[in-house]
């Protein structure tokens, strides 16, 4: 009887595995409130943890990290921005600017990133892009440059919208990629950090006749040691969203959260962020891959005066990467079966590819270590002479 019950149980579990794979998955190391979440290694871009990382979701005001970095890269910070009727009419949360007033771009960037003001976002977009649509085009172009294929920007402030390209959306993976670009790859990283780290700032118009107090809403800066930057967001469709970064010794962790609760659960994003950062700190150490030379084979040379040519790999300075203590990087050598003569020393012959967990993160060239001239009349004559003398 007991054996029959055990067999029945095994059959049921097997059936569930095929019909409902998610129903019998191994339990995750922790649970998150967010529908989409990513913990990323800020140095390499490697995903250390993901939950529905590639699901397309609205991103609310986390959009504004892209608005900020595009504005910084496309215009000078002393650019004068004139408030349009469209900008002044934006819904809350807003600075409260009035049509015709003027601000320096830098002042509006503080308004954008500290208080998440929607009117400031539109005023920036119209100034830098010529129109909201023109600026959205710049945002989407930058997204593709960064490697975001599933992100679509329509508004500079993150308010829910749709157009012929679809809805305003991103994924947890790509939101983290944008933050990584802002923090480690953009030529305006220093300015981005200066603005987003500022606890408070008084925004004034160009004439100094109006001033507005702004306080940074990124609570992580004060509640988690090592927090360096971040942006919150909320709309009724998106829920609470967050993207931010934390430094721990020589490690940079980037967290992105989408659909992380709705009112009255504003604190869920901080709970999830702390869990993800703690997971990263406990499980990953920083190492360097792709720094050491690897053995390469000699290649046959066709129609050359020598039968083979030596090759050698030229490693880079290495790629810093967060790995588990048990993880190792692996490499594959890609070389052709032969090379045609003539071969010059230093000719690119192949590539060394470095992988972690099946994903390529680095590569460097394999070059020839010597030269091989092509066969010609005189070399053939010399060969015949050598053979004759050996008889």
Which residue ranges form the domains of the chain, and what is each CATH number? Answer: 28-283 (3.40.710.10), 289-377 (2.60.410.10)
Among 7-21, 94-108, 222-236, 267-281, the least confident range: 7-21
Burial class (CB in 10 A: 0-12, 13-18, 19+), 125: buried
45: phi then psi, degrees, rounded to nearest 5: 85, 5
- Answer whether residue 78 shows pLDDT above 70: yes
100 Cβ partners below 8 Å, 6+ apart? Answer: 82, 83
The C-alpha atoms of residue 6 and residue 8 are separated, in whole angstroms, by 5
The C-alpha atoms of residue 105 and residue 82 are separated, in whole angstroms, by 10
Among 92-106, 340-354, 377-391, the least confident range: 377-391
- What is the phi-psi region of residue 90: left when phi exceeds 0, alpha when psi lies from -120 to 50, beta otherwise? beta
User: If residue 49 lies in a helix (H) or strand (E), which one and from where to where?
Assistant: strand 47-51
Summarize pLDDT for 88-146 with one digit per residue, the tens.
999 999 999 999 999 999 999 999 999 999 999 999 999 999 999 999 999 999 999 99
345 Cβ partners below 8 Å, 6+ apart? Answer: 368, 369, 370, 371
Taking the CA atoms of the chain, what radius of gyration do you get in angstroms? 28
What 8-state DSSP symbol labels residue 31? Answer: -
- Answer whether residue 29 shows pLDDT above 80: no
pTM: predicted TM-score of the whole model, two decimal places: 0.86
Who wins on pLDDT, 7 or 232? 232
pLDDT grade for 390, boundaries at 50, 70 and 90: low
Task: Tell me how many degrees the CA angle 245-143-360 measures, rounded to the nearest 5.
Answer: 75
- Answer whether residue 67 shows pLDDT above 70: yes
The C-alpha atoms of residue 361 and residue 289 are separated, in whole angstroms, by 9
- Helix/strand/coil percent split, the chain, to 5: 35, 30, 35
The arithmetic mean of pLDDT across residues 150-175, rounded, is 97
pLDDT at 28: 55
Peptide bond into 93 cis (omega under 30): yes
pLDDT at 305: 75
346 Cβ partners below 8 Å, 6+ apart? Answer: 367, 368
CB atoms within 10 A of CB 259: 22
- Answer whether residue 10 shows pLDDT above 50: no
DSSP β-ladder status, 200-204 and 359-368:
unpaired
Summarize pLDDT for 351-368 with one digit per residue, the tens.
999 999 999 999 999 999
384 Cβ partners below 8 Å, 6+ apart? Answer: none
Nearest Cα neighbor of 28 from 322, 245, 275 is: 275
């Amino acid at each position: 009887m007991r054996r029959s019950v055990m067999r029945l149980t095994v059959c049921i579990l097997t059936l569930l595995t095929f019909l409902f794979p998610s129903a019998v998955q191994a339990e995750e190391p922790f649970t998150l409130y967010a529908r989409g979440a990513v913990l990323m290694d800020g140095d390499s871009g490697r995903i250390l943890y993901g939950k529905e990382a590639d699901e397309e979701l609205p991103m609310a005001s986390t959009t504004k990290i892209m608005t900020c970095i595009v504005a910084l890269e496309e215009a000078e910070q002393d650019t004068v921005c004139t408030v349009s009727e469209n900008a002044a009419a934006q819904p809350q949360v807003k600075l409260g600017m009035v049509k015709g007033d003027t601000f320096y771009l830098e002042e509006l960037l503080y308004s954008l990133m500290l208080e998440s003001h929607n009117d400031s976002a539109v005023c920036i977009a119209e100034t830098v892009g010529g129109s909201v649509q023109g600026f959205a085009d710049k945002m989407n172009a930058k997204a593709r440059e960064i490697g975001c294929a599933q992100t679509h920007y329509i508004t500079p402030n993150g308010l829910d919208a749709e157009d012929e390209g679809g809805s305003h959306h991103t994924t947890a993976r790509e939101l983290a990629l944008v933050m990584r670009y802002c923090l480690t790859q953009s030529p305006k990283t220093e300015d981005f950090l200066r603005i987003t780290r500022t606890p408070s700032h008084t925004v004034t118009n160009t004439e100094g006749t109006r001033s507005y107090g702004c306080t940074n809403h990124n609570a992580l800066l004060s509640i988690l040691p090592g927090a360096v930057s971040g942006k919150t967001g909320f709309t009724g469709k998106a829920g609470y969203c967050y993207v931010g970064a934390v430094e721990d010794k020589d490690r940079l962790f980037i967290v992105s959260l989408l659909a992380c609760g709705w009112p009255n659960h504003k604190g869920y994003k901080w709970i999830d962020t702390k869990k993800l950062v703690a997971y990263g700190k406990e499980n990953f150490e920083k190492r360097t891959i792709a720094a050491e030379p690897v053995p390469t084979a000699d290649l046959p040379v066709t129609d050359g005066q020598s039968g083979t040519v030596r090759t050698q790999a030229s490693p880079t300075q290495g790629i810093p990467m967060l790995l588990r203590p048990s993880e190792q990087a692996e490499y594959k050598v890609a070389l052709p079966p032969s090379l045609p003569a003539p071969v010059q020393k230093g000719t690119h012959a192949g590539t060394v590819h470095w992988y972690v967990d099946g994903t390529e993160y680095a590569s460097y060239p394999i070059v020839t270590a010597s030269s091989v001239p092509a066969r010609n009349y005189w070399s053939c004559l010399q060969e015949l002479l050598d053979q004759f003398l050996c008889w």
